[in-house]
Amino acid sequence: MDASVLGKELLGDRPNLPLERTGPAALRPRKCVTISRRATPLKRGLGGVEDDGACMRERGTVAEDVLNPAAPLGRPSLSTVILLGVAVLLAAWFLATAAAPYLSLDPRYFGGYWPRRGWLLTHIAGGFVALVIGPVQIWLGTTRTHMPLHRALGLGYLAGVATGCTAAVVLAFRTEAGWVFGLGLLGLATAWAITTTVAYVSIRHRVISQHREWMIRSYVVTFAFVNFRLFTQILEVAGVGTRLERATAASWFCWAIPLLVAEPFLQWRKLAHTD
Ligand code: HEM
């Protein structure tokens, strides 16, 4: 018999015992935390939802993580601090050397982009907002501090991704660097839209662990253009390929490989919390 069906037979239809897990763990009851209706929106979570008394989500997420008023504030691990620090430094390097020069509005710097400068500047503006807000959001989400600010910046992040992504699709269709390059960046734009949308939908449903995971994926994708620059410059220094070959390879590598590398870390984290 399927474990979830067996679990339901043994435990009945009690809402406090989530049965969505499969395997032996599905049969073990989980501890649920009831949140007072008097709790402040911050204590109740990002959306300020009223608790209906049921165990809201998986263990280690809504119930015991953010909504529990007694839970200690999250302390980011050393690896999180180092990762965020490196990301901020690299993002600053990218914005200063690759994005900021376009603000000069000098046609010589735009080169072939000049006829599409409106779309490029819109894209850079949206990408800039997402790139800058992302680490702040991950920090606030991890430390569970300043949740009203986290919520406001989250909307800013969404707006940045929506703007940057829309312009990116137009740029990808009109690129002069060939269809393989264009398709790579179209894939990147799709990944950007999907990861960010799932992160948003997760928080609307108050599934904090899922929101956290998809926001990390979303920021890994946001970071892709920084990787693009790094990757092409390393290949250039190494004397590998032509400019077009390097850019074409980067249009796929800059997001597919980081997403792949991030995944085992995200899954490992979940396994480590499985009882
Ligand atoms: C993550 C999703 C992103 C996608 C799908 C994307 C897509 C694109 C596309 C299609 C182009 C034009 C390429 C060409 O035709 O040569 C472009 C250029 C550019 N993008 Fe993005 N981009 C993304 C993120 C970002 C972010 C976060 C920034 C940060 C501000 C950014 C900054 C730039 C810059 C500065 C250029 C001009 C090319 C250069 O000088 O390197 N992009 N992007």
Ranges 27-41, 118-132, 256-270: which has the least confidence? 27-41
Average pLDDT of 143-149?
A: 92
Residue 73: predicted pLDDT: 54
Q: Is 133 in the pocket of ligand 1 (CB under 6 A)?
A: no
Q: Is 189 in the pocket of ligand 1 (CB under 6 A)?
A: yes
Contact 217, 86 (CB under 8 A): no
Residue 271: predicted pLDDT: 82
Angle between helices 243-272 and 224-238 in degrees, nearest 10? 130
Specify the higher pLDDT residue, 32 or 52: 32
The atom number, within ligand 1, closest to the CA of 223 reads 27
Average pLDDT of 219-245?
A: 97
Residue 56: predicted pLDDT: 40
CA 7 to chain CA mean position, Å: 34
- Using a CB cutoff of 8 Å and minimum separation of 24, what contacts does 3-6 make? 3/27
- pLDDT tens digit sequence for 62-117: 333 333 333 445 678 888 899 999 999 999 999 999 999 999 999 999 999 999 99
Q: How confident is the model at residue 238 (pLDDT cuts 50, 70, 90)?
A: very high
Contact 206, 62 (CB under 8 A): yes
Residue 275: predicted pLDDT: 62
Closest residue by CA, ligand 1 atom 15? 175
Residue 268: predicted pLDDT: 86
CA 77 – ligand 1 centroid, Å: 31
Length of the chain: 275
What is the C-alpha to C-alpha distance for residues 167 and 158, in angstroms, rounded to an integer? Answer: 14
CA 247 – ligand 1 centroid, Å: 12
Q: How confident is the model at residue 40 (pLDDT cuts 50, 70, 90)?
A: very low
Q: How many CB atoms lie within 10 A of CB 133?
A: 21
- pLDDT tens digit sequence for 183-221: 999 999 999 999 999 999 999 999 999 999 999 999 999
- pLDDT tens digit sequence for 151-188: 999 999 999 999 999 999 999 999 999 999 999 999 99
Q: Is 167 in the pocket of ligand 1 (CB under 6 A)?
A: no
Contact 25, 58 (CB under 8 A): no
Closest residue by CA, ligand 1 atom 5? 189
Residue 42, SS3 per DSSP = helix
Averaged pLDDT score across all residues of the chain: 80
208 is written with which tokens?
């904090």
Average pLDDT of 113-133?
A: 98
Enter the pTM of the model.
0.77
Look at residue 28 and tell me whether its pLDDT is greater than 60: no
